[in-house]
């Protein structure tokens, strides 16, 4: 009995080695799992379901095969692939879940997030997040040609990289008060998220009791997988 969690793969046609790593994972370890949860940023960027990519097609086919084998797959939007919609989800056989989602893991209620909503000290990023999550902005963006969308995405990625280079790492990490608020909002003692690319398990107190925040790693150099089973959470 194992449930798998991954995030921040940032798949891109220009990085085929990571796609191969993902496909191998889907065809081996993921087969037979109780469920697979993808907590955002599966792709480096997503221009819309109507703009195909090689890695997007390969992963959709592999996810669909995994779902057909009996492993349910769930997808949560990240800050890079928030435009992934129902058309791609249906093709891939995945179920879209909201940005704060509580799941019952072997009798324990666990809060799942991508993690960027917790980084409230990074005010410029939160302003950007509010903009691109606006339905009107998204509708206007999707009316652009694929090439125009790509230019916007590349500009946003370059701006993000520059922002990271010029911003203190502590500011871009989660805000402690926001973490506690999320625990209390959902009445849980365990949280799983990605986004920060800082894999670790943090012990804290929330709701007057011991709590735990598990942070998934990225897939830039190797796979980062959380394997949850009854009474056990193994992050590698």
Range 93-124 burial, b when 16+ CB lie within 10 A, else e: bbeebebbbebebeeeebbbbbbbbbbbbbee
The pLDDT > 90 percentage for the chain reads 91
Q: Give the pLDDT of residue 157.
A: 87
Domain ranges of the chain: 3-235
> Average pLDDT of 21-27?
97
User: Which element (helix H / strand E) includes 88?
Assistant: helix 86-92
**What pLDDT was estimated at residue 76?**
98
Residue 22 and residue 2: Cα distance in Å, rounded?
18
Cα Dmax for the chain: 52
pLDDT reported for residue 102: 98
Q: What is the DSSP letter of 7?
A: -
* CB neighbourhood size of 29 (10 A): 15
pLDDT of residue 87: 97
Note the pLDDT tens digit of each residue in 68-107. Answer: 999 999 999 999 999 999 999 999 999 999 999 999 999 9
Tokens of 229: 């089973």
pLDDT band at 22 (very low <50, low <70, confident <90, very high): very high
Which residues, in sequence order, are bridge partners of residue 105? Answer: 108
Q: DSSP character for 22?
A: H
In angstroms, how far is CA 222 from the centroid of its own chain?
16
Taking only the tens place, the pLDDT of each residue in 135-194 is 999 999 999 999 999 999 999 989 888 888 878 777 789 999 999 999 999 999 999 999
Paired residues of 95 in beta bridges: 74
Contact yes or no for 99/76 (Cβ under 8 A): yes
Contact between 53 and 19 (Cβ < 8 Å): no
> What is the rounded average pLDDT for all residues in the chain?
96
pLDDT given for residue 122 in this prediction: 95
Distance of CA 215 to the CA centre of its chain: 11
Residue of 225 and 167 predicted with greater confidence: 225
Residue 199: which pLDDT band, with cuts at 50, 70 and 90? very high
Q: Are 160 and 122 in contact (CB under 8 A)?
A: no
- Interval 106-135 mean pLDDT: 96
Residues 202, 167, 44, 40: is their CA dihedral positive or negative? positive
In contact, 132 and 78? CB cutoff 8 Å: no
* Overall residue count recorded for the chain in this entry: 236
Average of per-residue pLDDT across 10-37: 97
Query: Which CATH fold would you assign to the domain 3-235?
Result: Purple Acid Phosphatase; chain A, domain 2 (3.60.21)
Residue 21 pLDDT more than 90? yes
Contact 92, 72 (CB under 8 A): no
Please report which confidence band the pLDDT of residue 222 belongs to, taking 50, 70 and 90 as the band edges.
confident
Contact call for residues 113 and 191 (beta carbons, < 8 A): yes
């Amino acid at each position: 009995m194992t449930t798998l969690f991954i995030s921040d793969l940032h798949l891109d046609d220009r990085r085929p080695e990571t796609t191969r790593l993902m496909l191998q994972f889907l065809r081996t370890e993921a087969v037979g799992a109780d469920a697979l949860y993808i907590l955002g940023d599966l792709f480096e960027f997503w221009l819309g379901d109507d703009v195909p990519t090689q890695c997007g097609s390969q992963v959709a086919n592999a996810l669909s095969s995994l779902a057909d084998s009996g492993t349910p797959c769930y997808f949560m939007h990240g800050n890079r692939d928030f435009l992934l919609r129902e058309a791609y989800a249906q093709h891939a056989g995945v179920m879209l879940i909201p940005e704060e989602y509580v799941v019952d893991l072997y009798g324990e209620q666990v809060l799942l997030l991508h993690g960027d909503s917790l980084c409230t000290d990074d005010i410029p990023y939160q302003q950007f997040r509010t903009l691109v999550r606006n339905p009107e902005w998204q509708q206007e963006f999707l009316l652009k040609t694929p090439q125009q969308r790509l230019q916007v995405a590349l500009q946003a990625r370059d701006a993000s990289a520059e922002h990271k280079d010029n911003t203190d790492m502590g500011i871009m990490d989660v805000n402690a008060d926001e973490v506690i608020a999320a625990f209390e909002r959902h009445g849980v003692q365990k949280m799983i998220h990605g986004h920060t690319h800082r894999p670790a398990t943090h012990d804290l107190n929330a709701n007057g009791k011991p709590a735990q925040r598990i942070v998934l790693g990225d897939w830039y150099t190797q796979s980062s997988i959380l394997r949850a089973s009854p009474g056990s959470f193994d992050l590698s």
